[in-house]
Structure 1
């Protein structure tokens, strides 16, 4: 960078008759050096600001990815902590339950396992605590003089049935199903109309567990 001051002169002769000539005088050297250094510093500052802005953007992106990873880890931990499983039996002594004139919800009073507390021994109904896929089984034992029939329901929908007609000996039956449930969905068993099952502690059972959360 050149810094200077140009002085203009008249071409007319002065009073003494001599002619003045044009003259260029340089500015102070220290000032020129300062201006040059200032320009270079501004360029460096602009470059630093650009790099800083890019670094801030990358930092925000990294923080967002880290937050997303933390949320995924927390979700996985919550899923691992959610344990739901139960196993029950009729538990009403050595006698048959039924027959009744209409389908009747069975209450399995003997609770073998009820991790998560989703099964109610007072109503016989399992209520899903979390969304997910669950597995349920139903089994029964009954004397052959009367048909045996169990019906597994999800809310108001019939899912699967196990059934046996009159026979000379004892009857046994069972069935199972995977069900995708939402929170507060209900699963329960009904005794089919005009059928019966054995009500002891070990023969007629209703069980289920959470396979995976959704």
Structure 2
């Protein structure tokens, strides 16, 4: 405020001088003389003293005000500079936070992608596992092969003797899992490659031999045979065979031999898959 008053006083003096020059075209010397003359006529000595005092006050006032302006300006400049520094620091902090946010967003996207990939892998594994379980169940069903049968469905009696071998048909079926045995033809047909177990039993009476053989395709493999002049005859045998898909197994009655069966199911033919083979 002090500085403003000082400046206004200086401006007032300057305007007065310029106005005098414009109005009268006076030069600096004339202006001084006129001012002195007018001061002599109009102002008593007291006025000059008052003017001198006022001029001195104005000078002192300005001398006191100008340093205050400079100090205020310096303080204001320092404050502005400090605020600029604070703004720069704040801007740097905001920029750093933006970078951190972008980094976190990138990390979050990567984690989401990783989680999605893991979920897709798990779903694929579960899908494959489900398919594998279905295939395994189907494969296990395919491996469920077993049968067992006796000669007569009802009643009792002999079969044979005949002059040539005949294929026996075991009609009283106890078990036929996989339906690989045909009770009409008496033939077992292998549905898949594997190791199979087969067993036969032959029962008869003395005076005529009781003999049967297991055939793989057209090859005789094992036999069950018994003979004595009188009383009952009983014989059995078994074998493990490696069969390919489509191989057949059957039981044939020997020539001039006979076997007997009844409700007690003493003459039987059985078989089952031990394990599949590649």
| TM superposition score normalised by structure 2 | 0.53
Please show how residues 29-40 of structure 1 align to structure 2 within 5 Å: 29=88, 32=92, 34-40=94-100
Q: Partners of 1:146 and 1:64 in 2: how far apart?
A: 68
Distance in 1 separating the partners of 2:242 and 2:105: 61
Q: State which of 200, 207, 212 in structure 1 corresponds to 2:261.
A: 200
Point out which structure has higher relative CO (alpha carbons under 8 A, 6+ apart). Answer: 1
Query: Pairwise CA RMSD of aligned residues?
Result: 3.7
Q: Deviations over 1:156-203 (max 9, x none)?
A: 444432223x421242211123445555443211223x2423243333
Equivalent of residue 163 in structure 2, options 100, 124, 140: 100
Q: How many angstroms does 1:71 deviate by?
A: 4.0
Cα distance, 1:125 vs structure 2: 1.0
The SS at the match of 1:208 is: strand
User: Displacement, 1:80?
Assistant: 6.6
Alignment CA distance shift 1:128-1:69 (3 Å): same
Which of the numbers 83, 86, 90 marks the counterpart of 2:151?
A: 90
Corresponding position of 2:186: 124
1:172 equivalent among 234, 240, 251: 234
> Residue 95 of structure 1 aligns to a residue in which SS?
strand
Choose the corresponding residue for 2:199, options 125, 134, 137.
137
Residue 145 of structure 1: SS of its match in structure 2? coil
Matched, 1:50 2:113: no
- Distance change in 2, residues 1:172/1:70 (3 Å): same
Question: Which runs of 5 or more residues in structure 2 are unaligned?
Answer: 1-83
Work out the CA distance in 1 between the residues paired with 2:222 and 2:119.
Answer: 55
Q: Using a 3 Å threshold, how does the CA distance of structure 1 residues 191 and 86 change in structure 2: closer, same or farther? A: same
Moved segments of 4+, more than 6 Å: none
Please state which structure has a larger fraction of its residues in helix.
2
Conserved? CA contact 1:197–1:204, under 8 Å: no
Q: After superposition, what is the alpha-carbon deviation per residue over 1:133-167, rounded to whole angstroms, capped at 9, x for unaligned?
A: 54322111133434332221333444432223x42
Asked if the contact 1:140/1:198 (under 8 Å) is kept, the reply is yes
Normalised by the size of structure 1, how large is the TM-score? 0.65
Residue pair 2:215, 2:221 contacting (<8 A) in 1 also: yes
Counterpart Cα distance in 1 of 2:106 and 2:208: 92
Query: Which consecutive unaligned segments of at least 5 residues does structure 1 have?
Result: 1-24
Quick one: distance in 2 between partners of 1:75 and 1:111?
29
